[in-house]
Amino acid sequence: MSENAVAVVILAAGQGSRMQSDLPKVLHRLGGVPLVGHALSGARSLDPEQIVVVTGHGSEAVSRAVAKLDPEVQCVLQAEQLGTGHAVQQALPQLEGFQGKVVILYGDTPFIGEDTLAALSSHDADLVVLGFEAEDPGRYGRLVVTDKGLERIVEYKDADEATRQIALCNSGVMALDADLLRLLIVRLSDDNAAGEYYLTDLVALARAEGRRADVVTCDEEETLGINTRAELARAEALFQSRARARAMDDGVTLSDPGSVFFAQDTVIGRDAIIGQNVVFGPGVTIESGAEVLPFCHLEGCHLSAGATVGPFARLRPGAELGGDVHVGNFVEIKNTVLDEGVKVGHLTYLGDAHVGEATNIGAGTITCNYDGVMKHRTTIGARAFIGSDTMLVAPVTVGADAMTGSGSVITEDVPDGALAIGRARQATKPGLATRLMAALRAKKETR
């Protein structure tokens, strides 16, 4: 165990009744991922030895989401919600034997920055509370600080008028030595109006032990907690504003920044160009020099340098675009690799496929990948030419330098260099259309 070891406890047990939702509050999405995912990302920035998430309301759903986001994280259940101190107490058995600093975060507080967390975890005081200067302190708890550090936390309802004038407010986030936490947590009392065990009481208990408590401050925005749909919407706006500014600072061109929406993990290289009304779901990486034209939706995909997408294209999870690939308007790509130089101009669906380099996919092409029970793959070789309105019924392989005739239904493999035509023979009946139309008109006139 390192000298500066850190463990993180994330409190995520609350119901969030003010959200008016059956979904646990920490599973509401911000930047395309659950709120608790932002807390986990912050925790991971500390390179902790352990992360423990305390669940409660909707514990099974929260645990599943946490496991998907970070399989190494441990979840524990707070069966009864008896306050923040009680919640942390449920996590302590998972930290048995841990020596170091324990950082306590909240699953509904997504914006605490890496620098702030680093300052909190590395502070030399025995107990450190994260505070902020509030523009409107309102009913926040106040932090009373003297030359000896943090003296006490005073809840608004218990504060006198002089204390209420203090602008330094309590975020609820704190860090303290693991042994001190074990010593003090069992001394918390529920002798209060709510009948709950509060973490804030640890400050007075620590000082009574002769330990030093102190405060690390951050911008008020970092401490924004989510309790209502309106606050979630404000948080989304703040997240998007930061993501857009960060992208442009990194050398990305956003044609209309306010209309582009990012996910938490969107990665875009410098000199990429993003048109207006583009939405990024989770798991998108775009290399330098690629371009996404307006009105596209991308999720779980990768664009190599020089690739262009859109307008009006959708890239779904598993889409891998090589260098100089072009995906045009009204094209959908799912679980498909397009090698360098592939052209998919318009009105096409490619799912569960691999397309070789420099191949041209004609308009209206569909890989028929689902037979009603299972998915099947389509493989198209390099430099192939797929005619417009081709149906490729998987599993099927079209060889290198091969072609398909427009309007074909391809159900068998096509060898390299071959031309495949799979359509019914056309029959033309001279004059029949004229006679049929005349008969129809006559019938209408006799009615």
Helix 178-185, helix 201-208: angle, nearest 10? 100
For 168, 228, 272, 438, 439, the CA distances from 432, given in Å and listed in that order, are: 89, 68, 57, 10, 11
Contact 51, 76 (CB under 8 A): no
Which residues, in sequence order, are bridge partners of residue 329? 346
Torsion-angle region of 172 (φ positive above 0: left; ψ -120 to 50: alpha; else: beta): left
Does the bond joining 415 to the residue before it have cis omega, within 30 degrees of 0?
no
Q: Which amino acid is at 443?
A: K
Determine the Cα–Cα distance for residues 255 and 258; give it in Å rounded to an integer.
9
In 221-289, DSSP assigns E strands to 253-254, 267-268, 273-274, 279-280, 285-286
Phi/psi of residue 177, nearest 5 degrees? -60, 140
Q: What are phi and psi of 277, to 5 degrees?
A: 60, 45
Q: Is residue 247 within a helix (H) or strand (E), and if so which, with residue range?
A: helix 229-249
- Please give the positions annotated as active site: 346
Q: Which of 328, 354, 324, 329 is nearest to 342 (CA)?
A: 324
* Cα pseudo-dihedral 249, 255, 258, 260, rounded to 10: -90
CA dist., res. 16 & res. 380, Å (int): 51
Alpha-carbon 113 to chain mean position: 17
**Whole-number Å distance between alpha carbons of 389 and 409:** 9
